[in-house]
Structure 1
Amino acid sequence: MPLRAEDLPHVGQAGLAPMIDPATTALVVVDIQVDFAAPHGLLGRYGVDLSPAERAIDNCEKLVAAARGAGATVALMRVVTSPETDSRALRTLMARRGHPGGEAICRVENGGADYYRIFPEPGDVEIAKLLYDSFHGTDFDARLRARGIETVVICGLSTDCCVDQTARSAFHHDYNVFLVSDACAAYEPGLHESSLSAMEKNCVLLTTTEAVEAAWERAQTPESSI
């Protein structure tokens, strides 16, 4: 039987609220941008099925609204590249795979790096990165520490790549890491589920959009402060 995300261990509504206190939690939205998600972006033009990504973004939008309503930090990640900043290791990897032209994705000059559907508001943390890990080569850790963040709730694209590497890096930076399983997506069958399973075994707690919404809605009620 194929692995299903819903069969993996998840933290439900009952126990989640005290673990993701909005005062010390950041919602980390990974790479919801044109080339990864928009029909006119690079993957869309190549004919990649973006419907799983669109469903995940629907839930990311709900999470962003819930975070803003509860006063949690919202942090938006983006891959932002130009020919001058392309990784030597990535260029070499692509060439050895038979693609010597590299992988020109999320370019500044053609709009591929632009946000898609979810956009920053004043007070949000914005991180521009060159590769997969949102902490590598950025000031993300310092900016979270400055806000007293101890916990991150991660959603976005793609489960097997930038979400995975950001989640593992957050754990290595000593954050409590939650991954919202129905607010992430991958582009090939099975990758989403297998990636969730590997992360759940090693560095994250899984939860759902509905559970996070309920937890942060509870944080807005007067009785939550009693």
Structure 2
Amino acid sequence: MSKQALLVMDVQRVIVDRYPDPAYLPRLRKAIDTARADGVPVIYVTVGFRPGAPEVSARNKMFGRLAGVQLPAAAAQANEIHPDVAPEPGDILVTKRRVSAFAGSDLDMVLRANGIDHLVLTGIATSGVVLSTLRQASDLDFTLTVLSDGCLDNDPEVHRILTEKVFPMQADVTTVAEWAAAH
């Protein structure tokens, strides 16, 4: 029998603030509450680096500007998971070092140790962490579901193309409400 986990990816305050959609966090909260009520593990994935970002190469186009930079203490608070969807005791926290939730993290080990073989993906951005995680998880033979309105992207057309045309090749795509109703 398949065992699911809900992945809540990159919903750190600093990221959420760049995607102004007032309905997003309440929808995501519904998915999280549904998962918890059904005993589905909730795994929060955040992007983070050590002080000075020694794991970042200056050659990395996305993260290279952080190489060797000492971020101010206020940056740590801005990088916390948004309080509207904050983790609760028992939730699993994973820190990744690149775009995919698997890159530089222990996510695969956590999933396999807990017998999880079906991932339900949510997060910001659809064209970033969701796409990268979906591709890698598919290659690792996980069963996948994407909650289309549990994902955000700064380009609505890119979001639409990914959720309607690209993701269905490797995942079931549904909405938070449809997924919640099925649980």
> What TM-score results when the alignment is normalised by the length of structure 2?
0.85
The equivalent of 1:163 in structure 2 is 130
The equivalent of 2:24 in structure 1 is 56
How far, CA to CA, are the matches of 2:92 and 2:165 in structure 1? Answer: 28
By relative contact order (CA 8 Å, sep 6+), the higher-ranking structure is 1
Which residues in structure 2 correspond to 1:170-189 (within 5 Å)? 170-189=137-156
How far, CA to CA, are the matches of 1:203 and 1:76 in structure 2? Answer: 22
How far, CA to CA, are the matches of 1:136 and 1:145 in structure 2? Answer: 16
The equivalent of 2:109 in structure 1 is 142
The equivalent of 2:54 in structure 1 is 85
The equivalent of 1:33 in structure 2 is 12
Q: 4+ residue runs of structure 1 moved beyond 6 angstroms?
A: none
Instruction: From the superposition, tell whether residues 146 and 194 of structure 1 become closer, same or farther in structure 2 (CA, over 3 Å).
Output: same
Q: Secondary structure at the residue paired with 2:136?
A: helix
**What stretches of structure 1 of length at least 5 have no aligned partner?**
1-20, 44-49, 96-100, 217-226
Number of residue equivalences: 177
Match of 1:102 among 65, 70, 80: 65
Q: Secondary structure at the residue paired with 1:128?
A: strand
The C-alpha deviation readout for 1:165-198, integer Å capped at 9, x for no partner, is: 1111111111101000111110123121122235
How far, CA to CA, are the matches of 1:145 and 1:24 in structure 2? Answer: 11
The C-alpha deviation readout for 1:35-93, integer Å capped at 9, x for no partner, is: 1113xxxx3xxxxxx333x43322111000000001001000101134323521xx335
Instruction: Supply the AA of the counterpart residue of 1:112.
Output: A
Match of 2:79 among 82, 107, 113: 113
**What stretches of structure 2 of length at least 5 have no aligned partner?**
none
The equivalent of 1:46 in structure 2 is none
> What TM-score results when the alignment is normalised by the length of structure 1?
0.70
More helix as a share of residues: 1
